[in-house]
Chains A and B, each alone.
Chain A
Amino acid sequence: MTDNSASSKRFRVTLVRVMSVQVVTLLLLWWMQSWFSRS
């Protein structure tokens, strides 16, 4: 049970990190499109 809890926690931590990177990337891409595509 302890191993399962540790595994789940590790998976959740990794999940948060991965999704954070995606969100940050999408925000950067959005900013790039908005800022550099202005006339």
Chain B
Amino acid sequence: MSNVSERIELLEHGVDMSDALRTIGTPAVAETGESASEVVFDLRQLSVFYGDFRAVRDGTLEIRDHEITAFIGPSGCGKTTMLRCINRMNDFIPTARVEGQVLYHGVDLYDPAVNSTEVRRRIGMVFQKPNPFPKSIYDNVAYGPRLLGVKKRSQLDEVVERSLKGAALWDEVKDRLKESGLGLSGGQQQRLCIARAIAVEPDVILMDEPCSALDPIATGRIEELMAEMKDDYTIVIVTHNMQQAARVSDRTAFFTTEVNPESDRRTGILVEYDRTDKMFSNPTDQRTEDYVTGRFG
């Protein structure tokens, strides 16, 4: 168990920008076979309640390192709720309650000893509606590093450039870093939000329908970006666009809703989780097949 408490300690104290924690996440990247890729998240019987209402139940799946995992399903099936459990964003909803476990490199994220702010530093999030801070492009990206204690101008410049390049935005904004982030187009704003997220050097990036507010060209650019980012980060994406899931992800989890006969309310459930190519060509569950072939949506 000393391994777990070491990891909890690192989660509590480690604000070091020198990638101390990222070494834990370095996988043995195998050329063949899926078993060589390390498990980053192990969700076990995860249920989320809003007050008495169970929004999603018994989610059990493993998310692997340096892969893109997609959560798909119809509206209200709990995929965003599940995603937000992974970085403890549901903490900010007072009535939300979680049962089950979310193990991150073996550490239960809902253990009372775990510092949720540190969790969110390592597991960043990009949202459906681009939400840059009302600050300059430079200050948007530099905000996270500054919070973590990076003060020297030269270091900040370097982080900003590296992050904007990592988000494929540098060339478009390098001459106007002092301009407001709000002056960018929707697709650029979303890439700015991605740059902002990667500036704090996270392990994992969660994306909640990142392209749903964007036009197809901007969407395509972000999908290209995600494919490049896979080398450095683990990505989990919620999307209502099946084709997007088929295009970008390595594994796909399909959720749907099931009506509770007593209360007549719908609870989300995980139906099937497998490699994307299998999910879309030869799924095991009939409900999955109905959804991915468009028989219901």
Binding partners A and B: no
**Measuring CB to CB, which residues of chain A are less than 8 angstroms from any residue of chain B?**
none
